[in-house]
Structure 1
């Protein structure tokens, strides 16, 4: 089962990457059985916390989002995560030949590497159930750091390249990931200006 890899990447990542490489799972099945499920954690938790729990500003004021606004933002976040993983997977495959790996016609290993490297970020979504901005930021920062290390660790195994090349390959991919992140932020600003921004209520 693909979801078993999520736990293996925290306990024995080297063996897990080798297993993922040998599976050579088709991107469609990987998306349906892994990414679609785990990527939903953060949007669902964010919806629950922002629409029903709220967060405190100052001493007494409790801020929440309206349910419609929370749903809209959660759906957009979910879509952005799915597109981001897909784009990163294709970037891994597209750069493969440059760094001595085999470029696949169907980028199974590239998408798998992107999806499984994002596992810590997917699971960090549970932290959103406790809507404290500084705590959420720390959790996601730690998750992003571990995700970057997982990608660096998995590149030579999954893509079949020397460890030395994985440093440059990983650096290029982190740059792509940052471009994707900035693009989603820019997209958020555009959508907010079109009337899809958050609507707050306070009590």
Structure 2
């Protein structure tokens, strides 16, 4: 089953990381996990933007057209997938500096499973109040960082002291990727690809 580690990462994360480490899945398995889990923010974002509307302070909820939301959702879906693959690549590249020799599939597993809580927190978009979505996103981000710090020593076979520095480097790379995605979005919007409001 594609999501068979999902419950374990929430219920008993350290034990689940050991299980993942004992039987590394194939590249295809990790890719399937990412392709499936990245649908959550895309679908929830589309539905809330078209059918519910976003509440930002006072006033009527803000909605966008179905076509515009579809473009944004597809763009978000591919940006999330590319972001996870790039994070896995950077984690693989940095691992050698810390004395680890993981395969790209191992770092892809690390990136995919640590990104999962952030992607799943997008379910909060079905109640599109800005404060609520922000709180859910922060909770998802905090748990993702926890998963990263607990999973690095196990999956990468790095001592905990070096694992902490390595995980901090991966977090930094993730933040840089996020800024790049946001900058690309702002550039596209300023070039005339803004959403069309309803």
Instruction: Judge same fold: TM > 0.5, yes or no.
Output: yes
**Other structure's SS at 1:101 match:** coil
Contact 1:39 1:82 in 2 (8 A): yes
What corresponds to 2:81 in structure 1? 82
What corresponds to 2:130 in structure 1? 133
Q: Does 1:180 align with 2:162?
A: no
Alignment gaps of 5+ in structure 1: none
Q: Distance in 2 between matches of 1:188 and 1:41?
A: 20
**Other structure's SS at 2:192 match:** helix
**Other structure's SS at 1:138 match:** helix
Greater Cα shift, 36-45 or 192-201: 192-201
Q: Distance in 2 between matches of 1:58 and 1:191?
A: 26
Say if 1:4 and 1:114 are closer, same or farther in 2 by CA, change over 3 A.
same
Q: Distance in 1 between matches of 2:101 and 2:21?
A: 13
CA drift at 1:57: 5.2
Say if 1:108 and 1:57 are closer, same or farther in 2 by CA, change over 3 A.
closer
Alignment gaps of 5+ in structure 2: none
List structure 1 segments (4+ residues) > 3 angstroms apart after TM superposition.
56-60
CA deviation digits over 1:145-193, x for unaligned, max 9? Answer: 1101100100000011101111100111111001100000011012112
CA drift at 1:30: 1.3
CA drift at 1:194: 2.7
Structure with bigger RCO (C-alpha 8 Å, 6+ apart): 1
Q: Distance in 1 between matches of 2:57 and 2:15?
A: 48
- TM, length-normalised to structure 2: 0.95
Q: Distance in 2 between matches of 1:94 and 1:169?
A: 11
Identify, as 1 or 2, the structure richer in strand: 1
**Other structure's SS at 2:61 match:** strand
Q: Does 1:154 align with 2:151?
A: yes
CA drift at 1:108: 1.1
Match of 1:124 among 111, 116, 121: 121
Contact 2:56 2:130 in 1 (8 A): no
CA drift at 1:119: 1.2
- TM, length-normalised to structure 1: 0.93
CA deviation digits over 1:46-98, x for unaligned, max 9? Answer: 10011011134565523201111111111111111001110111111111111
Alignment of 1:1-203 (within 5 A): 1-32=1-32, 34-56=33-55, 60-104=59-103, 107-201=104-198
Say if 1:101 and 1:68 are closer, same or farther in 2 by CA, change over 3 A.
same
Greater Cα shift, 73-82 or 58-67: 58-67
* Number of residues of Structure 1 aligned to a counterpart in Structure 2: 198
